Structure 1
Amino acid sequence: MPTTITGLVLLVVLLLPGLTFVIIRDRKGSERRPTAFRETGTVVFCSVLAELAVLVIFAIVRGVKPNLTPDVGRLVREGATYAQVHYAELVWWAGGLLSLACGLAAVVALITAGSPHASVMSAWWVMFEKWFPGENPLVGCVLEDGSYVEGRLASFNVSSDDLPDRDLVLIEPLKYRAPGARETHDFPWGSACISARRIVTLFVSYPLAPEQGAEGEGAGTPASSPVAP
């Protein structure tokens, strides 16, 4: 760990692009719990790549328009003397390059946030996001007491772990079948929150693709609801 203010500032500057990447990726993607070593490695790796890319851009600009950029050679040779004279230019360029590095990291995070490998994600994420993302499928849940609940998917816990302590939210049209009953009836409520701990089996029905709908019930018509067991 740095022991001086200068060292602390340099550490923050070096790690800020990678931290930006991790924050945006976690915000836009599924919640994952990597080890501290892996998370630190991701921050450092992304920071190094983003800052190297920005330095390449700076080198290109320096080669094409040297008068627009600070004189790196003089900065290396003269050090503090050059920095004291050209401090305003150095601060502006340093801030701009750091912002650009963070921007590149943010763009990469947005592009890659929604495409983790299915092997590291939960079964809910695979069914609701990987196969047919953004479709709001029809979901049917058989609960441990034998009852059955059906509705349109509104939201679900995006944790990458298949944990029992999470919830699934369904919205109308809702259907419900009481324990021991044979018929499923409309349920006159707007939404339902179901605990994963109580779910025994979960069915998902996706909207038909246009070419499938043309052969059957019509383009874009949702597939029929799964029959409750």
Structure 2
Amino acid sequence: MPTTFTGLILLVVLLLPGLTFVIVRERKGSERRPTPFRETGTVVFCSVLTELAVLVVFAVLRGVMPALTPDVGRLVREGVPYAQVHYAELVWWAGGLLAAACALAAVAAAMTARVPHSSAMSAWWVMFEKWYPGESPLVGCVLENGSYVEGRLASFNVSSDDLPDRDLILVEPLKYRAPGALETQDFPWGSVCVSARRIVSMFVSYPLASEQGAEGEGTPASSSVAS
């Protein structure tokens, strides 16, 4: 950890773009739990890469418009005296370059968040996000007590681990079949929360994809998964 204010500022400058990348990627994609070493490496690597890209752009601007950019050569040679005279310009440019690096990291995260390999994701993510993304599929769940509940998917836990301690939310039109019953009845409620721990089998149907005849290789119009 840095022990001086200057060291703290340098640490923030180094890690902020990478932290932006990780946060945006978590918000846009499935939640994954990498090791601390791998997550730290991702933050540092992304920060260094985006900051180098921004510095390359700054170098081009410096060559094209030298009068509008700070004189890095004088800053290196003179140090504090030059910074004291041009502190406002340096602060604005430093803040702008850092913001540009963070923006670049956010764009990169948004573009890559939804393209992880299926082997690293949960079965829920594959059925709800990889196959026909953007739809609200019809989901039917057979529970451990023999009952059945069906509804339109509204939300689900995006963890990449197939854990029992997570839920999905189904909304109307809801249907329910009690244990031992033969007929499925309409359920007069707006939404229901189903625990993964209670699900034995899950069936997923993509009505819009089926109607449009958009079924493709490896992306069925309906699918199922057993817990």
Fold equivalence (TM over 0.5)? yes
**Partners in 1 of 2:15 and 2:200 — Cα distance?**
44
* Within-5 A mapping of 1:118-137: 118-137=118-137
**Partners in 2 of 1:91 and 1:212 — Cα distance?**
57
Q: Give yes or no for the alignment of 1:10 onto 2:10.
A: yes
Number of the residue aligned with 1:67: 67
Number of the residue aligned with 2:44: 44
Specify the SS of the correspondent of 2:133. Answer: coil
**Partners in 2 of 1:69 and 1:173 — Cα distance?**
61
Q: Which amino acid aligns with 1:59?
A: A
* Within-5 A mapping of 1:207-222: 207=207, 208-209=209-210, 211-212=212-213
| Alpha-carbon shift at residue 16 of structure 1 (Å) | 0.7
Retained in 1: the 8 A contact 2:147–2:176?
yes
Q: Which amino acid aligns with 2:213?
A: Q
Judge which range, 193-202 or 108-117, deviates more. Answer: 108-117
RMSD after superposition: 1.7
Retained in 2: the 8 A contact 1:138–1:225?
no
**Partners in 1 of 2:222 and 2:99 — Cα distance?**
50
Retained in 2: the 8 A contact 1:151–1:172?
yes
* Within-5 A mapping of 1:2-151: 2-151=2-151
Structure 1's 159 and 224: CA in aligned 2 closer, same or farther, altered over 3 A? closer
Retained in 1: the 8 A contact 2:204–2:222?
no
Number of the residue aligned with 2:193: 193
Q: Which amino acid aligns with 1:42?
A: T
Structure 1's 190 and 225: CA in aligned 2 closer, same or farther, altered over 3 A? farther
Judge which range, 159-168 or 27-36, deviates more. Answer: 27-36
Retained in 2: the 8 A contact 1:152–1:172?
yes
Q: Which amino acid aligns with 1:212?
A: G
Structure 1: gaps of 5 or more residues: 214-222
**Partners in 2 of 1:224 and 1:38 — Cα distance?**
36
Over 6 Å off, 4+ runs = 223-226
**Partners in 1 of 2:90 and 2:152 — Cα distance?**
56
**Partners in 1 of 2:192 and 2:15 — Cα distance?**
43
| Alpha-carbon shift at residue 212 of structure 1 (Å) | 2.4
Retained in 1: the 8 A contact 2:203–2:222?
no
Deviation per CA, 1:30-89, whole angstroms, max 9, x where unpaired? 111111111100100000011000000000001111111111111111111111111111
How many residues matched? 217
Q: TM-score, normalised by structure 2?
A: 0.91
Retained in 1: the 8 A contact 2:150–2:170?
yes
**Partners in 2 of 1:224 and 1:164 — Cα distance?**
23
